[in-house]
Each structure stands twice: as C-alpha cells, then as structure tokens.
Amino acid sequence: MRGPHNIWRLIRTGATLERAGAMNVVLDAFEATPTLRFVARALGLPFKYLGYRGDPTMPPATRALTALGPAYIKFGQVLSTRPDVVGDELAVQLRVLQDKLPPFSIEEAKAEVQRELGMPVDQIFSEFSEPVAAASIAQVHKAKLVEGGDYVAVKVLRPGIEKAFRKDVDAFYLAARMVEIFSPGSRRLRPMDVIEHFDGVVRGELDLRLESSAASEFAANTKNDEGFQLPAIKWNHSSRRVMTLEWADGVSMGDNDAIDAAGHDRVELSNRVLQLFLNHALRDGYFHADMHQGNLKVAPNGDIIAYDFGIMGYIDEYTRRVYAEILYGFIRKDYKRVAKVHFEAGYVPADKDVDEFARALRAVGEPIFGMDATRISMARLLAYLFEVTERFGMETRTELILLQRTMVVVEGVARSLNPHMNIWEVASPIVTNYITKSIGPRAVISDLTSTAMVLARFGPRLPGLVEDALMRQTNPPHVDRRPRKRWFVLTAIAGAVGGAGIIALIDAIF
C-alpha cells in the first residue's frame, strides 16, 4: 500500500547504508558533491542503528542492498556491470548480487515444486541438488529427470517474494513522488512513469509461465544466430512459480580467469555479445533485457549461452528505425542528421534549435571517437549529457527504458571482457546492415507492400468507413470531451523522450 508510511522505508534505506558501512563507498563511487554528501549523511547517520544489519560476512555495499530487498538488489545488478562508472572495487562487490545471494533451503524448494507440479519431487526428478545459483527473485537447482535421464535446471521463486517486492516498490513510488514535488526540474525525467514501468516489468518476472513463453519466442527468433544458444524449456515440468529447462554447461561470463583457462578469445566474445544484442533489438525487436554476467555462460565450444528470460524487451519497427538512425549518425559523425532524427521523432520539443542541438551532440561525441575505453570517464560524460538533455527539455520515454538500460548493461559486460574495445567499430556492421535493409529503397518497397496488404484486407469496408467519417464531421454528436483530453495528454507523454533514458542510451553506445 502506497502512502506516507513508506517514509520509514526510505529512512531505513539510508540507515542501512550507514550501518553496513556502505554510505561512503557509494558516495565515493559516484563522486558525490559536498552538498549531496552532507544531505545523505544527515538523513542516514542519526538513524544508523535502525538500519538492517545484513550479513556481516558480505562487502558493505552488497550487505546493504541484500538486506534492503529485491528491488535494491536489481539496481545493484545493473551497477555491477559498470566499473567505469562506480569503480572496480564497488563493481566487484556488487557482482555477487547476480547469482550468489543467500539461498533458501532445499526443503522449501522441494515443497514449492511439489505444490506447483502436483507430484512428489522424487517422482519427477531422480536427483535434486542444493541451490547452484541464487538471485534476487528465484534460485536454481540442478536436477535429473526420471523420464529420459536428462539433466535440467529447476528455477523456483523465493517464498514470499511477491510481498517483499511490493514493499520495496511502494517505497520507490513515494521517493519518486517526493522528487517530483521538491525538485520541479526533475519532472521532465518522469520519475513516477519510470517506477511504474519498472513495477510492471518485475510483476511479469514473478510469473514463470510468462518467462517460459518468452524463452520459447526468443529461441524461435535466434535459432540461426551463429555462436549463440538457449536452453530448451521443459513445459511439462513448468508452472507459475517453477520453471524447468535444459541444463547448460559452461563457464560464467563474469569469470575472466576461467574463460582464459578454457582457451576462449575474450576480445571476440566481447564483440559478439554486443553484436548479438544489437541484432536482437534491431532485427527482431525482441531482446533479452537482463544480459548481465550472471545470466550468460560460455559453452565449451565457445558459444554464448543466455538464460533467465524474466525480463524481455520489445520495440516496434518505427522505433527501431529511429534508434538505428541515431546510432548510424553517431558512427558516421553526422551530428546534424542525429539531431534531425530526434526532432522528427518528437524526442526534442519542436521549439528548440536543431543546429544548437547538433553542436551539443558533437561536443559529446567528438572527444570519444578513437579513444581507448579505459580513458573515458563515464561519470563526467553522464554529468555533461544530463546538462544537455535538461537544456533541450527532453523527457523520459518509458517504452525505451528497457532498451536503454540493457544497452548499458551489455556494454558493461563487453568491456569487462575487453576494456579496450571500440564500441563504434563493433556496432558499425550491425547498424549499417539494418539501415541498408530497413531504411533504403528495399524498405520503401516492403512498407508499400505491407500497406497494400492492409488496404486489401479492409478494402470492402473502406467506403463505409469513409462515409461514416464524413457523416461524423458534418453532424458531430455531443460527447464528453474529458476522455479525449486525457487521451491527448497520454499521447503527448508517449511521444516525449529524453532525460535519464537518453543519457543511458548514448552512454551505452560510448
């Protein structure tokens, strides 16, 4: 339940960071200003011993986030892929959040499996191991099927996870509302919309039937992708809180030493993981939206294995074309074209100056090209990009949040494998190929064909539709205009973009 009582949750957040010794770690990682440091310590320090104690054997940041709950853990998972933003020390601490959280007991897991599948565990599995991975929402057990003898991974939701996550997200709603009230300049970032989007995504992650369906669709789209594989879903042994899929052997994408020992080429892997994501996003419009190291393995034959399909992203064809043109413009250093695309798509208010926006984009892009990735300060780049988006009145577009967030995560994974990778060179062939197929003459023919098919399908009804429209125009009925006004507001919101979203998008590309 949302309301002022969630202020207590926010106070305990600051108190927990203080008690775990994580407040200074976090502030140092983000190069916080003296003012921000003062406010953070003033809110957290007096309530220090009201914070959650957490597991004292864990590093400070990991200890605090795990004590606070699943929503905080999700946030930490994203940061764990960005050592260039939070520093190497904090990134290593947070990587534990990906798949090494404290598990719940095997007895609880077996009881959950029996309740969900309607049969005793030993009638389904001849072997059922202790947890092999534990994340924020579920944990995984290795098992062997009685029928067929295949080894499988059994994913089981944490007991009570729905209630725990609801408590976290309710506090986030209050925080977003407070930001909107006390910081009017942040309203363009639409913090409430962002939290609502995040809430919806995770609600879907809490139903493993939806995850199984997503995995099946993703497998169909990517079956011909070279060097990429997905474990198959065992539908007969899956339900809302339990999912069973093929066991995938391989080394973790986050273990560089193991990757090297297995003889894999980390430079090639870093290029492939980024190009695979771009292919899935641009070619299919359907992509794995949680591609951190904890959800990726490298198979003995060198293939990249992806799993955990609780968060998948979708973008329509028009948005894909806009996204590709922006990337393509940056790759070609055509900042004027990038600026025009933003204006044409409605991402920047029409009353702003396109040439001035192009110059601002050039100031962001030019220092980056050709620079070794290890020399780029993402913290400083993010600060400058925030100034740019604020100056041009760009707002957050919630339907792009997953795409932008995933681009940040995937780039972090790629750079953890090869810190010297050139993002532009790796992205160029994928984006160029998509541009050629989707924006050139071939795309025009395809669009005309699709339009003709729609007209053919509705052809017999077109005369009547036109006649009805003309009649309404000449004899408009009396209607309540308030719903139309609300629809106009919603449409305007959907057409806006920017703020933190664009920051994440361009940061990920760089």
State the catalytic residues: 290
Query: How is residue 376 annotated by DSSP?
Result: -
Name every residue whose Cβ is closer than 8 Å to that of residue 427 and which is 6 or more positions away in sequence. Answer: 274, 275, 278, 327, 331, 509
* Measured torsion, CA atoms of residues 301, 307, 311, 312, in degrees rounded to the nearest 10: 40
What is the Cβ-side half-sphere exposure of residue 236, based on CA atoms within 13 angstroms? 7
Distances (CA, A) of 95 to 288, 294, 331, 506: 19, 8, 31, 24
Give the separation between CA 182 and CA 177, rounded to whole angstroms. 9
The number of residues making up the chain comes to 510
Name every residue whose Cβ is closer than 8 Å to that of residue 218 and which is 6 or more positions away in sequence. Answer: 230, 280, 286, 288, 309, 312
CB atoms within 10 A of CB 505: 24
The letter for the amino acid at 238 is S
Looking at the DSSP bridge assignments, the partners of residue 141 are: 131, 154
HEC string of 250-263? CEECCCHHHHHHCC
Interhelix angle 499-509/423-438, rounded to 10 degrees, is 110
Contact between 205 and 158 (Cβ < 8 Å): no
Q: Which two structure tokens, joined as six digits, stand for 324? A: 């590709």
Query: How is residue 233 annotated by DSSP?
Result: B
Helices (H), 80-137: 83-86, 88-95, 106-117, 121-124
* Measured torsion, CA atoms of residues 255, 257, 263, 269, in degrees rounded to the nearest 10: 40
Give the separation between CA 92 and CA 32, rounded to whole angstroms. 20
Which stretches of 32-96 are assigned E, i.e. beta strand? Answer: none
Q: In what order do the strands lie in the sheet with 251-252?
A: 228-229, 304-306, 296-298, 251-252
